[in-house]
């Protein structure tokens, strides 16, 4: 039995999030493919914190820990259009904490990318964008340096890693695994875009803790399969230890064929997948994570990866506000 009540937690979102079927999309896919599973979507884009997203689950535990330690400032980092940074800024606003954000310029664009979408909301929510650093910078080191500067003037900072992806943050997706296990349908697969690893690691650890047979497929949005597997498994191990269970490396499944040119770089498959879900089910994906994750799900269906009798849940990690940073991609 997983006892998450022993960990500090601050309520920030609306849970459980909706679990919805995808009837119009499924009907269309059955016209195109011989083998289409029972498709559902877990709406973690509906967590409610400044347009929602998967980081809200992680931040409930991270901010809970920060408050338990007496912190007065949250520090975090992410790419320019970071959904995590936006949700951290919102969590700080809700709890009365200061928020300092470092943004990594993983790609340079000459359109609205640098100022719109999540960047606009970061500032509207009251966060301070302290630095914009070039791609490949030591972002963790930069955060630690900032934390030292703040401590020197009497502040009490709490450093949150990119994506909120450490064992405390991953507890949010242990909790999501428990939600899915209690769902009115028996879940065979959970598919989602995997990047900083906390979502997948938490799901893997959570399902292991309750001996669930559900499999988790992470569609990589940033790095090759084996590197992503190593990263997810490492965090899943540490999360499992935190909740008193173990995980097997074989439970970490990653598909890296949908990354395209790299993190945040648009692909034709992402654009097609985003347009398809919007036009059939009225659900908006994002161009960095869920768009590529959904492209991977569609690709898996096309190649017969899932049985027709399988129940497959796409975990929508949110981030549709990022579409506004990619307007030119969709025009």
Other beta carbons within 10 Å of 129: 16
DSSP states along 226-291: HHHHHHHHHHHHHHHHHHT----GGG-EEE-TT-TTSTT---HHHHHHHHHHHHHH-----TTTHH
Residue 210 near residue 176 (C-beta atoms within 8 A): no
What's the burial of 137, exposed, middle or buried (CB within 10 Å: 0-12/13-18/19+)? middle
Of 191, 180, 221, whose CA–CA distance to 297 is shortest?
191
Residue 193 near residue 289 (C-beta atoms within 8 A): yes
The beta strand positions in the chain, using DSSP E, are: 19-21, 38-43, 73-79, 98-105, 128-134, 157-159, 189-194, 215-220, 253-255, 311-316
Give catalytic status of residue 145 as yes or no.
no
Residue 81 near residue 103 (C-beta atoms within 8 A): no
Of the candidates 27, 82, 116, 212, the residue annotated as catalytic is 82
Q: Is there a cis peptide before residue 16, judged by omega within 30 degrees of 0?
A: yes
Write out the H or E segment, with its range, that includes residue 206.
helix 198-209
Structure tokens at 5: 């009540």
Known catalytic residues are: 82
């Amino acid at each position: 039995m997983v006892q998450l009540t022993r960990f500090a937690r601050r309520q920030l979102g609306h849970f459980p999030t909706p679990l919805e079927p995808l009837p119009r999309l499924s009907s269309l896919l059955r016209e195109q493919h011989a083998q289409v599973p029972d498709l559902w979507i877990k709406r973690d884009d509906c967590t409610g914190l400044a347009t929602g997203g998967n980081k809200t689950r992680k931040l409930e535990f991270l901010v809970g820990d920060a408050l338990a330690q007496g912190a007065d400032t949250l520090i975090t980092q992410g790419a320019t259009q970071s959904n995590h940074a936006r949700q951290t800024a919102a969590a700080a606003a809700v709890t009365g904490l200061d928020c300092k954000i470092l943004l990594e310029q993983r790609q340079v664009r000459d359109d609205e990318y640098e100022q719109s979408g999540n960047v606009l909301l970061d500032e509207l929510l009251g966060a301070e964008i302290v630095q914009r650093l070039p791609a490949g910078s030591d972002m963790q080191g930069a955060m630690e340096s900032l934390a030292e500067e703040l401590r020197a003037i009497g502040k009490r900072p709490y450093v949150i890693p990119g994506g909120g992806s450490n064992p405390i943050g991953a507890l949010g997706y242990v909790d999501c695994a428990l939600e899915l296990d209690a769902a009115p349908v028996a879940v065979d697969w959970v598919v989602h875009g995997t990047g900083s690893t906390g979502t997948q690691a938490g799901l893997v650890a959570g399902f292991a803790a309750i001996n669930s047979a559900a499999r988790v497929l992470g569609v990589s949005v940033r790095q090759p399969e084996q590197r992503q597997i190593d990263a997810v498994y490492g965090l899943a191990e540490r999360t499992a230890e935190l909740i008193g269970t173990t995980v097997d490396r074989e439970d970490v499944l990653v598909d890296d064929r949908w990354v395209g040119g790299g993190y945040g770089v648009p692909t034709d498959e992402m654009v097609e997948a985003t347009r398809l879900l919007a036009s059939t089910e009225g659900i908006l994906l994002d161009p960095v994570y869920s768009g590529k994750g959904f492209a991977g799900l569609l690709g898996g269906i096309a190649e017969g990866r899932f049985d027709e009798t399988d129940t497959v849940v796409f975990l929508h990690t949110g981030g549709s506000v990022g579409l506004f940073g990619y307007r030119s991609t969709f025009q």
